[in-house]
Amino acid sequence: MRELELGLQLPSPLQDLHDDRLAGVRLFLKRDDLIHPEVTGNKWRKLKYLLADACASRASTLLTFGGAYSNHLRATAAVGRMCGFTTIGVVRGEEEPHNAMLDAAMSDGMQLHYMDRATYRRKADPEVIDALHRRFGDFYLVPEGGSTEFAVPGCRELVDEIEQPFDVIACPVGTGGTLAGIAAGLAPGQRALGVSVLKGAASLDDDVRSLQLDATGRVVGNWSIEHRFHCGGFARRSPELDEFLGDFDRRHGLRLDHVYVGKLMLAVFALISEGAFADGSRVVAVVTGRPPAGSG
């Protein structure tokens, strides 16, 4: 894919983080949030090979799904504009006053289609997809979150970009595509740690395994998911999280989003203080995206 032409900053930078709470651990930030101003970093990596597949199958329209605050809808709209696809976004729920995310998707030319919650839950059913085809004609279907087997080789490249030796690489987990790809790229002795941003999402472990199986034909056991840091559930925040993020911004001049990266970083620092990483460990935390513009 023509990454340079598209104005993507790749490889994304790796930064050494200095913080007096690190004890004997060295922490690096993989700044995927800097890849592109409109395409969330990990969304580009997840979509890259899927777009190549869409091109190969001569598709000109992408149809995908998301909630009203979905980074994935926003990223698909931007990528569609950049790469010349028409895009349709199926949004969960009734139409509401627009937020910045949907406005941005629309200004990238995405056509929005609202779907009631009951139908949305059945969005993978053939009848629901047939109805969408009757309405919109031909399209290439991108599942919610963009986690298909194509996410795995794309996210794996993130690991290949890191020249610095490391022991553990940590990322947030929404649908698990990013974690599955990262784990697929590790060398022997390295491990990946996912931090679930969803409450009670024990099935994520199976999701990661099946993504790995689909993409590479095998499951590797060099990863695990931490389920303790969802702070109340998806997109919820807790006083502890807000306090941590305010403090992190003051220390490092870096505002983290509270949906994904904030929970990742909260988890990494909690694990460090619990002594979960051996002295001298080199840990990479993937900053998968940035807070939406105008968010507090």
Ligand X SMILES: *Cc1c(COP(=O)(O)O)cnc(C)c1O
Point out which residues bind ligand X (CB under 6 A).
Answer: 40, 42-43, 71-72, 145, 147, 172-178, 260-261, 288-289
With tokens 């609202």, the residue in question is 114
Least gap, CB of 5 to ligand X (angstroms): 23
Q: Which is nearer to ligand X, 136 or 254 (CB)?
A: 254
Least gap, CB of 150 to ligand X (angstroms): 12
Q: Burial code of 146-178, b = ≥16 C-beta within 10 A, e = fewer?
A: bbbbbbbbbbbbbbeebeeebbbbbbbbbbbbb
With tokens 């991108």, the residue in question is 142
Q: Which is nearer to ligand X, 18 or 258 (CB)?
A: 258
Taking residue 77's Cβ as centre, other Cβ atoms within 10 Å add up to 29
Token code pair at residue 94: 């009734």
Least gap, CB of 201 to ligand X (angstroms): 10
| H helices present in the chain, as ranges | 41-56, 71-83, 100-107, 117-121, 126-136, 151-160, 177-184, 204-216, 239-252, 261-273
Least gap, CB of 157 to ligand X (angstroms): 14
Token code pair at residue 203: 């099935």
Q: Helix 71-83 to helix 41-56 angle, to the nearest 10 degrees?
A: 50
Q: Which is nearer to ligand X, 136 or 191 (CB)?
A: 191
Least gap, CB of 179 to ligand X (angstroms): 6
Least gap, CB of 45 to ligand X (angstroms): 9
Q: Closest residue to ligand X, Cβ-based?
A: 289
Least gap, CB of 7 to ligand X (angstroms): 19
Residues 6+ apart with CB under 8 A from 12: 30, 31, 32, 34, 35, 41, 158, 161
Q: Which is nearer to ligand X, 23 or 293 (CB)?
A: 293
Helix, strand or coil, per DSSP, at residue 224: strand
State how far the Cα of 177 lies from the Cα of 155, in Å rounded to an integer. Answer: 8
Q: Which is nearer to ligand X, 31 or 72 (CB)?
A: 72
**Is-contact 176 147, C-beta < 8 A?**
yes
Q: Which is nearer to ligand X, 136 or 157 (CB)?
A: 157
State how far the Cα of 193 lies from the Cα of 266, in Å rounded to an integer. Answer: 13
Q: Which is nearer to ligand X, 136 or 222 (CB)?
A: 222
